Amino acid sequence: EPEVTQTPSHQVTQMGQEVILRCVPISNHLYFYWYRQILGQKVEFLVSFYNNEISEKSEIFDDQFSVERPDGSNFTLKIRSTKLEDSAMYFCASSSTRGRSEKLFFGSGTQLSVL
């Protein structure tokens, strides 16, 4: 079965540093998402992306966050100046269409630790 690939699996960074989390969605998918889960809390929606622009974002997704699809295969999440509270598991997801019958495919996540 096709899969969404995320790298690295674990990223450690210093507070204030920029970090880029990388995702390779399934090749024919058009809709891309980032979610995150802070330890012990709920998985939260961050942003959705379609046709090279953000289609929806949550309150968490402030000016410190950005997403990009720099080429035909990668989908990245950048945090410009990391804070301690950005420590979380970040999940990338993709789908080929929107609608009730479509499955969302998730990657295995990147565990970000901000020290």
Partner 1 sequence: GNSVTQMEGPVTLSEEAFLTINCTYTATGYPSLFWYVQYPGEGLQLLLKATKADDKGSNKGFEATYRKETTSFHLEKGSVQVSDSAVYFCALSDLGGNEKLTFGTGTRLTIIP
- Kindly indicate which of the ranges 1-9, 12-20, 61-69, 80-88 contains the residues binding partner 1, using the contact rule CB under 8 A: 1-9
Q: What is the dihedral of CA 63, 24, 15, 13, to 10 degrees?
A: -170
The pairing of beta strand 43-50 with beta strand 110-114 = unpaired
Residue 48 interacts with partner 1 (CB under 8 A)? yes
Is 87 or 109 the residue whose CB approaches partner 1 more closely? 109
What's the rounded Cα separation, in Å, for the pair 111 and 87? 8
**Contact between 25 and partner 1 per CB under 8 A:** no
Q: Kindly identify the residues of this chain, within the stretch 76-95, that bind partner 1 according to CB under 8 A.
A: 91, 93, 95
Contact call for residue 102 and partner 1 (CB under 8 A): yes
